[in-house]
Each structure stands twice: as structure tokens, then as C-alpha cells.
């Protein structure tokens, strides 16, 4: 049996590895182990995803925790190296673009172990984003590059990556969404928030997520976004599951007055604790509008057909704009308000799902992994 070791670490990794782990679960050709770096450790950002997505308990948890980029990356490398030396996998698989992705890829490549990168080739062309650095460096040392959308194939070609290692396979995050859509429909969250009564149709609401350092660590930018969303929230409630980084910054900057604190869920920006996968999918599915600086949510709203405004100056996922429901609106408050009102009043009717976002990406990846590992 060939040995494949996958490394995950932060929230958006878990829904990407779940469909791949499922595909490999009963494989007679590949023995699959899972390592959790411990980059995310709170139940709400990590543990709950393992339960809801039926992910196997990690074989090893490196428990590195939070730290600066250098400390976190270095700690993951230092603690992963002995695991790789001990188990001697033929290949290490990493997903996405977080610090755990790059740290694991670098550790494996330095030991001469092949690296497979899922979600390769995406580029924002903005090197101030830590994720862009992580993506470019991970791709540069990967021997198998699994790509979600055509722009990724084009980017890798431009960077001189050998095309025989590049595979347009679709989107494992969408595999996960399609698999859990029915379970999400049974989530009680909309009733809990007073948006749906006794199974009746939903009241209109929007959803906000923010966690990019460029948005929440600059007080001017953060204030501008919150004031624009407050303006919108005079007409409909805006539910805001707050990331721990963001919550800290709201306290630091004294921005609590932008949030509805009376428990009223009929208007205002309504802060929520970070949500589990099924509750968040349910909330997004019925939203009139989603405002976000996340990457994955741009893709999920495209498949759900929900209008999405990306509060950044760029996206590494252009298929969500060209084909899907996403608009990149930046962080200018007037522009956010105008785009939100326009999206609410004239929802875009013509959108499509990018090719191969069909729930079968993990199957394609597993097939290619089997072929490649046979030859090692």
C-alpha cells in the first residue's frame, strides 16, 4: 500500500479535505493519514467541523496554536518533520492557502517527498495577502497541482509549471457543500434568529463575514465597512458571525456601537458567535445578500445562486465573477452601499456554475492520486 499523508490546520481546510478523506477511506491501494497542525484549535473553528463533516479524528495533532506568521510556520515545520520521517509517506497532500498549507509543503519538499496541492493556481496578484504568498510558494514546490477553475490552469502555465502535473478537477469545497445541503436545510438557525416561523418562507436578511487583516486591522477601513453595512442594516438585519481576530479588533477600536446589542434580530448588524458548517450553510442559502472578504464564500454563494459582494480590491477566484454571483466592490463605503442596494433590488438572474463544480472533484483527485502513487 502507498502512504499518503494530508495536512490541515485552519477552518477552510476542513471542508476541502472531508470529501478527499471520504474517497480514500476504504482504498485498498492508498493508506491515508491525517495530520492537524493545530493552527485553529477552538471548537467553533475546528472541532465542530470534524463532527459535522464526519471527518476522521486526526492521526496526529501538532497543536502549534496561534503566533506570528514566522513562528506559526516554523513551529508547524519543526513538529511535522519527525512525523514525516517516522511514517515515510510517498506523498503529502495539502489544501488551500493557509500557513499550514505552506509549512507542510515546505517540510515535505525538503525531505524529498512529493507534494500534491489541492486548489492550486489561484492568484489575486496581491502579494500583501499572506495567502497569495502561501499559494505561490506552495505551487512552486508541488509535483501534483489540482485546480478548481480555468484561471488557475492559465496562471500555472504562465509561471512555467509543467502542464503534465496540472489537473483541472473541479472544487472539493463544492463537493462538501452539495453533500451537506440537505442536512443544512434541517438546521434550526433561521428559526432561532426569528427569520423563519414554522417552516414558512424566510424574511429578508443579509450576511456579513470579515476577517482579512487588511480589513479588520486598519481602523479606517474597518470603520468604513461597518458604517456602510450599518446603513444597509437600517432596512434588513445583517447577521455577522464574528471571527475571533475580528472580535478582538472590534474591542480594540471601540467599534461595538456599530453592532446591535439588544438581541433584536429584525434590524441592525447582529453579531453571532462563529457558526458551525451546517448552520452557516443554512444561513447563506436563504440570504438575500452576502458581504464577505473570504475566498471560499465567494465560491459557495456562486453555487447557491446568492448575490455576493466581495469587500476586497481583488479576487483570486475570477470564475465567481465571470460566471457566478460575485462582485468585487472594494472597501469604499459609498461603493459598498450602492452595490448592496443594487444587488438587493435587481438580483442577477443569469449566472452559472463553473465547469466541474459538480460534487465529483474528490473522485477525480483520488483517481489521479492512485495513478501517480502506483508509479512511485
Interface ranges with ligand UD1 (CB under 6 A): 10-12, 39-42, 45-46, 66, 98-99, 130-131, 211, 243-245
CA atoms within 13 A on the CB side of 161: 26
**Cβ contact 115:84 at 8 Å:** no
- CB nearer ligand UD1, residue 42 or residue 251: 42
The minimum distance between CB 38 and ligand UD1, in angstroms, equals 9
117 is catalytic: no
Assigned C-alpha cell, 247: 472580535
- Smallest distance, Å, CB 307 to ligand UD1? 21
Q: Where are the alpha helices (DSSP H) in 254-332?
A: 277-285, 296-304, 319-322
Spell out where the chain has E strands.
2-8, 30-36, 60-61, 91-95, 114-118, 144-147, 166-168, 206-209, 238-241, 269-272, 289-292, 308-310, 326-328
Residue with cell 477511506: 25
Closest CB to ligand UD1 among residues 24, 92: 92
How far is 205 from 226, CA to CA, in rounded Å?
A: 16
Nearer to ligand UD1, 163 or 252 (CB): 252
Catalytic residue among 69, 211, 243, 257: 211
- Nearer to ligand UD1 by Cβ, of 45 and 272: the residue is 45
Q: How far is the CB of 91 from ligand UD1 (least distance, A)?
A: 22
Give phi and psi for 19, each to the nearest 5: -65, -30
Residue from 317, 298, 361 nearest 146 by CA: 361
Least spacing, CB of residue 97 vs ligand UD1, in Å: 6
Q: How far apart are the first and last CA of the chain?
A: 11
> Which CB sits closer to ligand UD1, 132 or 175?
132
- Of 64 and 361, nearer to ligand UD1 (C-beta) is 64
Q: How far is the CB of 16 from ligand UD1 (least distance, A)?
A: 12
Cα separation, 20 vs 14, whole angstroms: 10
Torsion angle of C-alpha atoms 320, 129, 159, 9, degrees rounded to 10: -80
Q: How far is the CB of 121 from ligand UD1 (least distance, A)?
A: 17
The answer to whether the CB of 108 falls within 8 A of the CB of 142 is no
Question: Catalytic positions, please?
Answer: 211
Amino acid at each position: 500500500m502507498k502512504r499518503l499523508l494530508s495536512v490541515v490546520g485552519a477552518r477552510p481546510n476542513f471542508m476541502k479535505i472531508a470529501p478527499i478523506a471520504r474517497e480514500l477511506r476504504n482504498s485498498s491501494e492508498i493508506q491515508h493519514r491525517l495530520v492537524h497542525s493545530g493552527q485553529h484549535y477552538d471548537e467553533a473553528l475546528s472541532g465542530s467541523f470534524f463532527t459535522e463533516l464526519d471527518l476522521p479524528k486526526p492521526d496526529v495533532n501538532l497543536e502549534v496554536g496561534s503566533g506570528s506568521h514566522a513562528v506559526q510556520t516554523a513551529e508547524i515545520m519543526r513538529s511535522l518533520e519527525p512525523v514525516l520521517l517516522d511514517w515515510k509517506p510517498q506523498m503529502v497532500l495539502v489544501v488551500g492557502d493557509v500557513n499550514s498549507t505552506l509549512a507542510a509543503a515546505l517540510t515535505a519538499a525538503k525531505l524529498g517527498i512529493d507534494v500534491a496541492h489541492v486548489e492550486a493556481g489561484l492568484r489575486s496578484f496581491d502579494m500583501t495577502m499572506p495567502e497569495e504568498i502561501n499559494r505561490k510558494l506552495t505551487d512552486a514546490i508541488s509535483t501534483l497541482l489540482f485546480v478548481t477553475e480555468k484561471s488557475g490552469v492559465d496562471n500555472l502555465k504562465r509561471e512555467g509549471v509543467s502542464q503534465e502535473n496540472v489537473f483541472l478537477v473541479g472544487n472539493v469545497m463544492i463537493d462538501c457543500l452539495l453533500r451537506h445541503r440537505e442536512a443544512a436545510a434541517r438546521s434550526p438557525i433561521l428559526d432561532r434568529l426569528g427569520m423563519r416561523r414554522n417552516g414558512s418562507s424566510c424574511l429578508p436578511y443579509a450576511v456579513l463575514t470579515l476577517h482579512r487583516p487588511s480589513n479588520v486591522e486598519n481602523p479606517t477601513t474597518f470603520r468604513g465597512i461597518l458604517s456602510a453595512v450599518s446603513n444597509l442594516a437600517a432596512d434588513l438585519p445583517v447577521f455577522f458571525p464574528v471571527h475571533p481576530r475580528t472580535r478582538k479588533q472590534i474591542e480594540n477600536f471601540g467599534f461595538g456601537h456599530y453592532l446591535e446589542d439588544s438581541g433584536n434580530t429584525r434590524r441592525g448588524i447582529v453579531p453571532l458567535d462563529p457558526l458551525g458548517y451546517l448552520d452557516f450553510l443554512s444561513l447563506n442559502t436563504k440570504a438575500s445578500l452576502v458581504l464577505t472578504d473570504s475566498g471560499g464564500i465567494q465560491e459557495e454563494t456562486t453555487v447557491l445562486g446568492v448575490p455576493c459582494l466581495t469587500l476586497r480590491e481583488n479576487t483570486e477566484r475570477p470564475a465567481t465573477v465571470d460566471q457566478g454571483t460575485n462582485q468585487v466592490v472594494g472597501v469604499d463605503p459609498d461603493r459598498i452601499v450602492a452595490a448592496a442596494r443594487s444587488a438587493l433590488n435587481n438580483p442577477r438572474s443569469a449566472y452559472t456554475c463553473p465547469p466541474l463544480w459538480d460534487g465529483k472533484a474528490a473522485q477525480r483527485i483520488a483517481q489521479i492520486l492512485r495513478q501517480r502513487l502506483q508509479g512511485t
